[in-house]
Amino acid sequence: MKFGKEFASQMVPEWQAAYMNYNHLKILIKEILIFWRLQQHESTMSYQANLPLPSKRSSRKRKVSLNRAFGGLSNRHSVNNDKEDEVILVSAMQLSEENHQTVFLRSSEDAGESELAFFKRLDEELNKVISFYKTKVGEIVNEAEELSKQTNTLIALRIKAEDPDYCGSSRIFSSRFTDVIQESKTRGEGKDKQRTGSDGLVKEQEMVSTDMLNHVKINVMPETPVSSLKTAFSSSKLGLSFRKKEMREAERKLKQAFIEFHQKLHHLKSYSFLNQLAFSKIMKKYDKSTSRNASKAYLEMVEKSYLNQSEEVAKLEESVEAVFIEHFCNGNRGLGMKILRQKAKTDRHRVTFFIGCFVGLSLALVMAIILLIHVRKLLKSTEGRDQYMTNVFPLYSVFGYLVLHFLMYAGNIYFWKRYRVNYAFIFGFKPNTELGYREILLVSSGLSVLTLAAVLSNLEMDIDDHVKSYRTLTELVPLGLVILVLLIAFCPFDIIYRANRFFLITCIWHCICVPLYKVTLPDFFLADQLTSQVQLFRNLEFYICYYGWGNYKKRDSIKCRGSSIYDNISLAIAIIPYYIRCMQCLRRLLDGEDSSQAVNGLKYLSTIAAVIARTFYAQKKGLTLKLVAAFTSVVATVYNTYWDLVCDWGLLRRNSENPWLRDKLLLPHRWIYFLAMVLVNVILRLAWRQTVFDFHEAPFLHRTALIALISSLEIIRRGIWNFFRLVFLATKN
């Protein structure tokens, strides 16, 4: 693998823009070579035309040709102290911050301007990398100081919990961090002042007394609706006590904080190493291409820079490992290092194998169902077809919506990985527990096999004369499939991706209890998915009514379809997802996250008004209701489209680096963004017209099938937008 691809594959996704732009510097070197070749061609043509050649240029070309001809025998890799062979002068000036500048001494020669531009850009890249690295080291040192204080307090609480009569103060371990923290904060100051400040900081951190412990409240328990209500209506919001259960939860969270902090340190070390290696590679490529000897002087400057000389990260990493092993692993170094240095998740071949098996089974079952319907002429009777599409098709379409949503999510993960979007970090998954696109495909293909097998068995039992007397068993197949899926989803055992199942259930619970929980990204991301699955929830409502009040033995659901209670519940189901998003916007507004959440909440209110108007029109008809439904739907559609295009997509930004789009784009081609905008926000969003203008039937589709098709298009629209949403979060300034 070439270094450029390896360099890109090793980058931290969130820091891509901060790495040295290796590819652009390679392009500048190619431009230098192209310029030289053009000069050589002109020289050759002039010589053939018996025109006089400038002696300086001629000697330069001969030198280049000889150097290239003899390759490694040329003096480009040798050390020559003769000032006539000097190519660059490098210096680090101390202005507001360390600023490295390179003076190119051969600007008067051929390709001199191109090489001058190369070194100018090279200095810009070096200064950018050093500035970013210095900023991140400062952030990591501050985080280490906070982590040290929290760990000191926790260990003091351990002592207090084991011995309530403990009254002394103890030195714990904060001095492991103190030297590194103080060294970074006093860099550039006198040694005496540094020593005095360090001693003072040690004494301050070591004095953890019972007076402080008596005024400590561990506030680490998960937020619940009850705790939110107590916080909202209680005057004394926090007590001054702690319990062992709370302390265990605090230990768990602090342990996870150590693991994440150690990973950040590892990323910083990798950032420093990769960029130094990139500068070394690009300078060697420059020397090789131009037959110069500039890399030695430049790389010496890189080695003396803060990027290589800084020792804070290495010292902090050593201290973190020592503290973690001592206080969280009982001194077991092997166990501690295994936890801290978690291995990357690897793909399993058996997952791919089972995906192939399930996909093959699904295709075979689809063909079997089609042949069975065609041979037995099951849909020849108009009455039988209408009965099946009205009563049985909605029962199985639930699983079709789920499979389609899983497939879109698997595609999103595939392209997120391809464009290096760290979706696991953005969603907050525990390390190495996130599902890849193969695992999602495994789940979706497995569910499709179960669904298609149930459909086939239902059809077989329905037409078999030997089981006509067991009509009840035939009609209970869809209900049995729902129960099986729910049992798998809530299975408490550590099988079938338990961590991810319970992560999803937790997010669903947060959506149900909105706005009593603090809104996180997975919560409102899931709520957006719910707005695209309204028909799925309506079909689940039909499940309850069909098997609870309908005559499922005779495939008769007239009690459900003609009931006003059923229609009102159906309306509420359509409103609930938008209500959840509206309440989430309100909660985020009250939490002070973003003032634009108020306008975003109004967007969902307009959608609720449109849904109510369209539903009343569908139930009672009438010209007035039709006009109201059309007006509210147009307002909601225009409002949603404007918000999505301008606020979410970043359209109409005239002063952007990318005209009419955001400043930072992750995808290589801008036309992809414009195409996705039209597809997601114009074409697929206009499905509401089917309801407003009474397009309930199509000449080639049953009404239920048409509804399923439109619902599927909405799921596809949501899946496309999901990809771009995380892309925008990953490239957000």
Is pLDDT at 390 greater than 50 in this prediction?
Answer: yes
Cβ-contact 390, 557 below 8 angstroms: yes
Question: Which tens digits make up the pLDDT trace of 702-712?
Answer: 888 888 988 99
Nearest to 423 by CA among 322, 339, 545, 525: 525
Q: How far is CA 151 from CA 40, 239, 252, 313, 452, in A?
A: 68, 21, 12, 19, 54
Q: What's the confidence (pLDDT) of residue 331? A: 85
Q: Which range is most confident: 251-265, 555-569, 661-675, 707-721?
A: 707-721
Q: What's the confidence (pLDDT) of residue 119? A: 84
Is pLDDT at 14 greater than 50 in this prediction?
Answer: yes
Q: What's the confidence (pLDDT) of residue 564? A: 82
The DSSP string of 449-496 is HHHHHHHHHHHHHHH-GGGGGGHHHHHTHHHHHHHHHHHHHT--SS-S
Q: Report d(CA 293, CA 85) in Å as an integer.
A: 8
Identify the helix (H) or strand (E) that includes residue 98: strand 98-104
Q: What's the confidence (pLDDT) of residue 241? A: 52
Q: What's the confidence (pLDDT) of residue 207? A: 46
For residue 105, give the 3-state DSSP assignment: coil
For residue 100, give the 3-state DSSP assignment: strand
Contacts of residue 696, defined as CB under 8 A and 6 or more positions apart, other chains included, come to 690, 703, 706
Quote the Cα angle for 664-582-614, to 5°.
110
Q: Report d(CA 51, CA 42) in Å as an integer.
A: 11
Q: Which range is most confident: 24-38, 103-117, 319-333, 357-371?
A: 357-371
Nearest to 666 by CA among 427, 420, 423, 417: 420
Q: Report d(CA 501, CA 20) in Å as an integer.
A: 40
In the predicted model, what is the mean pLDDT of residues 209-219? 50
Is pLDDT at 166 greater than 70 in this prediction?
Answer: no
In the predicted model, what is the mean pLDDT of residues 287-316? 86
With a pLDDT cut of 70, the percent of the chain lying above it is 74
Where in the chain are the domains?
1-32+84-223+238-342, 349-730
Q: What's the confidence (pLDDT) of residue 171? A: 45
Q: Which long-range contacts (CB under 8 A, 24 or more apart) does 455-464 make?
A: 455/365, 455/369, 455/396, 456/365, 456/368, 456/369, 456/372, 458/392, 459/369, 459/372, 459/373, 459/378, 460/372, 463/376, 463/378
Cβ-contact 534, 570 below 8 angstroms: no
Is pLDDT at 78 greater than 50 in this prediction?
Answer: no
Q: What's the confidence (pLDDT) of residue 87? A: 61
Question: Which tens digits make up the pLDDT trace of 61-75?
Answer: 444 443 433 333 333
Q: What's the confidence (pLDDT) of residue 73? A: 32
Low-confidence winner among 157-161, 301-305, 553-557 (lowest mean pLDDT): 157-161
| pLDDT band, very low/low/confident/very high, at 199 (cuts 50, 70, 90) | very low
Q: Report d(CA 306, CA 272) in Å as an integer.
A: 10
Q: What's the confidence (pLDDT) of residue 358? A: 96
This prediction has a pTM of 0.76
104 backbone φψ class: left, alpha, beta (φ>0; ψ -120 to 50): beta
Q: What's the confidence (pLDDT) of residue 218? A: 52
Question: Which tens digits make up the pLDDT trace of 411-449?
Answer: 999 999 988 888 988 898 887 788 999 999 999 999 999
Q: Report d(CA 504, CA 484) in Å as an integer.
A: 18
Is pLDDT at 236 greater than 50 in this prediction?
Answer: no
Name the maximum alpha-carbon separation found in the chain: 108
Q: Report d(CA 136, CA 139) in Å as an integer.
A: 5
C-alpha 192: how far from its chain's center? 47
Residue 562, exposed/middle/buried by CB under 10 A (0-12, 13-18, 19+)? exposed
Locate tokens 């206009």: which residue?
Answer: 686
Nearest to 401 by CA among 459, 485, 525: 485
Locate tokens 């037409």: which residue?
Answer: 463
With a pLDDT cut of 90, the percent of the chain lying above it is 26
The pair of three-digit structure tokens given for residue 259, joined into one six-digit string: 């693991």
Backbone phi, psi, residue 342, to 5°: -70, 135
The pair of three-digit structure tokens given for residue 401, joined into one six-digit string: 């919506």
Is pLDDT at 567 greater than 90 in this prediction?
Answer: no
Q: What's the confidence (pLDDT) of residue 233? A: 56
In the predicted model, what is the mean pLDDT of residues 361-383? 83
Q: How far is CA 551 from CA 23, 379, 389, 462, 569, in A?
A: 69, 22, 16, 16, 20
- Name which residue leads in pLDDT, 726 or 252: 726
Nearest to 274 by CA among 97, 16, 505: 16
| pLDDT band, very low/low/confident/very high, at 359 (cuts 50, 70, 90) | very high
| pLDDT band, very low/low/confident/very high, at 629 (cuts 50, 70, 90) | confident
The pair of three-digit structure tokens given for residue 342, joined into one six-digit string: 């978690």
| pLDDT band, very low/low/confident/very high, at 527 (cuts 50, 70, 90) | very high
Q: What's the confidence (pLDDT) of residue 94? A: 45
